[in-house]
Amino acid sequence: MENEAIDAALARLMGLSSGRHYGASRDSDCWVMIGRNLREVTSWSIVPPSASLTLTWGDGGCAVEFGGGNLQMRSGDWMWIDAGFAHRGDNLPGSDFLTVFIPDKYVLAASLDLAPIGAAAQPAPQALAQMLMRFAICLLDGVSTRSIEAPLLDTILDWVGIAFAPLETVNGHGNAAARAAAMLRADHRNQVRITDIADAVGLSGSELSRQFKAYYRLTPALYRKQLRLALATRALASGSSVLAAAHNAGFSDTAHLSRTFRAQYGIAPSQWSRRIAGAEPFGIPDGATLGA
């Protein structure tokens, strides 16, 4: 299902005419720019007012320079740039890309904390690429609303925070709270009690809760809940049923997922998954692939 979903979303983008295409949310400040087969070389220099996520496919890519470093995006990569992060760049001839612009207020309000990153790029996992493509298509078609965007943004921003976080944070070596978070991420099916995690990192339950909340803005229990929601949303966006999404994310049953999802986002997961899959694409062009 995941490969079919990404092929379908890619087909829709490959069907766009050469040039730049723009779209925006109906009731938020999120917007998208899609570049299709850009033949001219374009340079830019900016201090962006919004954070951005870029995904490349097909031909082309871009080179980005900033104070203290540089990076190059190749086909199949994704890139995050913080709001206010000064940089300059050049796209390569023949570029195919999408860039979703996310107001900083949504980054700051993310359910799972996101540390400043600056600019970073790496190969895009297929599930993440498919979510970004779906998001871009909804924005391009003018059907995107906060009810569609909120679950996607929470899940994508969590992915950003983990993928581009400092290695010591990802591996849990930063402090006790980071080690506890790493254990929670490895145990989203709730097989380990939080009190056992506290023991493992050398803290009492109350002290772990205090340090964890200071570091992540959430208690360990709420952090675990947000992890489950992010995993379920990822599965739903990839075309999984509510039953499969609930099981894979560690919810006790579909009713448990539905209650939690509706309480967080004000919409049932089944209704949300139908909306995010609303723009059904056409046939896959010959030779269209994500990545080189």
pLDDT at 104: 87
Does the pLDDT at position 253 exceed 50? yes
Does the pLDDT at position 63 exceed 70? yes
Does the pLDDT at position 122 exceed 80? yes
Closest CA to 63 of 90, 25, 36: 90
pLDDT 10s digits, 143-182: 899 988 999 999 999 888 888 865 444 444 458 888 898 8
pLDDT at 127: 87
Closest CA to 128 of 94, 87, 96, 100: 100
Coil, helix or strand for 99? Answer: strand
H/E element, 247: helix 242-248
Record the tokens describing residue 164, joined without a space.
């581009």
pTM over cut 0.85: no
pLDDT at 193: 92
Q: What percent of the chain has pLDDT over 90?
A: 51
Supply the mean pLDDT for the chain: 85
Does the pLDDT at position 287 exceed 80? no
The ranges assigned to domains in the chain are 2-165, 168-274
Does the pLDDT at position 289 exceed 60? no
Record the tokens describing residue 69, joined without a space.
């470093």
Does the pLDDT at position 6 exceed 90? no
Record the tokens describing residue 49, joined without a space.
């007012």
| Interior/surface letters 265-285, b for 16+ CB within 10 angstroms, e for the rest | bebebbebbebbbeeebeebe
pLDDT 10s digits, 10-21: 888 989 999 999
The mean pLDDT value for 107-116 works out to: 75
- Topology of domain 2-165 in CATH is Jelly Rolls (2.60.120)
CA 226, CA 216: separation in Å to the nearest integer?
A: 12
Of the two residues 41 and 76, the one the predictor is more confident about is 76
CA 222, CA 250: separation in Å to the nearest integer?
A: 14
Closest CA to 27 of 292, 266, 280: 266
| Distant-in-sequence, close-in-space partners of 181: CB < 8 Å, separation ≥ 6 | 172, 212, 216, 223
CA 109, CA 207: separation in Å to the nearest integer?
A: 25
Does the pLDDT at position 54 exceed 80? yes
Of the two residues 5 and 105, the one the predictor is more confident about is 105
Where residue 246 falls among pLDDT bands split at 50, 70, 90? very high
Closest CA to 85 of 107, 111, 65: 65
User: What is the identity of the amino acid at 232?
Assistant: A
pLDDT at 243: 96
Of the two residues 278 and 23, the one the predictor is more confident about is 23
Say if residue 49 is exposed, middle or buried (CB neighbours under 10 Å; 0-12, 13-18, 19+): exposed
The mean pLDDT value for 76-86 works out to: 94
Q: Which of 115-119, 203-207, 278-282 has the lowest mean pLDDT?
A: 278-282
Residue 291 CB neighbours (<10 A): 14
* 237-238-239 Cα angle (round to 5): 90
pLDDT 10s digits, 189-235: 777 899 999 999 999 999 999 988 887 778 999 989 888 999 999 89
pLDDT at 84: 94
Q: Confirm or reject CATH 1.20.140.10 for domain 168-274, answering yes or no.
A: no
CA 190, CA 290: separation in Å to the nearest integer?
A: 34
Yes or no: say if 78 and 121 are a contact pair by the CB < 8 Å rule.
yes
Does the pLDDT at position 3 exceed 60? no
